[in-house]
Amino acid sequence: MSFSISGTGSSLPREIVTNQRLGSFLDTSDEWIKSRTGIQERHVCTEETLRDLSVNAAIDALADAGIEAAQLDLIICSTITPDHFVPSLSCEVQKAIGALCPAFDINAACSGFLYALDIAEGYFKKKKDSKILIISADAMSKLVDWRDRSICVLFADGAGAVVLTQGNDLKAIKLTAKGDDQVIAANGPQGNSPFAVMEPYDPFVRMSGQEVYRFAVSSSVRDLANVLEMSNLQEGDIDIVLLHQANARILEAVSARMKIPQDKFPSNIAHCGNTSSASIPILLDELNRAGKLKPGMMLAMSAFGGGLTTGACILRWQGTNLSNHQ
Ligand code: UT7
């Protein structure tokens, strides 16, 4: 017994920032960004908070699942950019949607959605008929240094959500972590303790792009092969691979190495950029609303990011109210 995905939702900020607009204040170009990453534009918060995006995504996912917030047993949010440390993002959502259940946040950077699915699976073992809301949301525009062209052109803001109900659709899931504070790192608050030895404070995320690139391709290929083996499936059995939307070239490289055709790797990176842990559930919701997910399809998911963390899974798509009525 694991779960089924019964509803999906997502929310992006209204403001769209094109590559050309970035070129107006950075030494960069549409040509460089498009050819190196596949990104053409991204959504960036202006007046919206991460709570707003998360609540919108949650409401859409609950509506799709046909479930009232008061029926939820658990809310898990994955984020590295909450509006507040306390209350947690999940508690803010719980209050806004009128849920009554426990709620907590997790931090597994861009792999957060896969980590949340794994935690949820454990919860279903405890209580089979649970109803769980997962929201993966990040406002990376708060964490990037907008003077650093090597990072700020990549990241963006958004939230994706799923509602999980009793079912048997998760075929295999695998998480990894390899502690590393050099390849991707962002500091927490420094405070003003009169007792602390203060060091120069850098509030921005820093990343060694090429190292992450190599890590991303090799870990996704390894993790996807592992979850295929765990579920006794072959590459050819997979209908769609939802890979973390970090770089179109990473999608192409994983597709080539896995010998899974490129057309099975849908992508929204051109208009969403890298929304960290939100990227896979946003893409899932877009595909669901576009009628591209058919009941019975076998989906693979794979994510990688700061930590360093990775996660992958194989999941059968049963369909939500949206996909079953298209
Ligand atoms: O969510 C998970 C975390 N992130 C990732 O998965 C990112 C993984 N890494 C990547 O996607 C790629 O490594 C990047 C897109 C970050 C960079 O692409 P690259 O092909 O590895 O470029 P590079 O870092 O080797 O830089 C090539 C050149 C450099 O100039 P020089 O030294 O050759 O003169 C950079 O300074 O491109 C320059 N550059 C830029 N030029 C124009 C770096 N950023 C930019 C920019 N515009 N925005």
At residue 270 the predicted structure's pLDDT band, cuts being 50, 70 and 90, is very high
CB-CB neighbours of 160 under 10 Å: 32
List, in order, residues 6 or more apart from 188 with CB less than 8 Å away.
none
CA 71 / ligand 1 centre spacing (Å): 46
pLDDT in tens, 38-83: 999 999 999 999 999 999 999 999 999 999 999 999 999 999 999 9
pLDDT in tens, 80-133: 999 999 999 999 999 999 999 999 999 999 999 999 999 999 999 998 899 999
Distance separating alpha carbons of residues 144 and 56, to the nearest angstrom: 24
According to the model, what pLDDT value does residue 326 have?
A: 65
**Domains annotated on the chain, with CATH:** 2-168 (3.40.47.10), 172-324 (3.40.47.10)
Distance separating alpha carbons of residues 12 and 17, to the nearest angstrom: 12
Distance separating alpha carbons of residues 274 and 272, to the nearest angstrom: 6
Nearest partner of 21 among 49, 41, 1, judged by Cα: 41
For the chain, what is the mean pLDDT?
97
pLDDT in tens, 162-212: 999 999 999 999 999 999 999 999 999 899 999 999 989 999 999 999 999
Once rounded to an integer, what is the mean pLDDT over residues 291-309?
97
The finding on whether 23 has its CB within 6 A of some atom of ligand 1 is no
Token representation of residue 207: 């990343």
According to the model, what pLDDT value does residue 323 have?
A: 79
Q: Which atom of ligand 1 is nearest to the CA of 244?
A: 1
* Percent of the chain residues past pLDDT 70, beyond the cut: 99
Distance separating alpha carbons of residues 117 and 324, to the nearest angstrom: 23
CA 216 / ligand 1 centre spacing (Å): 14
Length of the chain: 326
**DSSP H or E stretch at residue 316:** strand 309-316
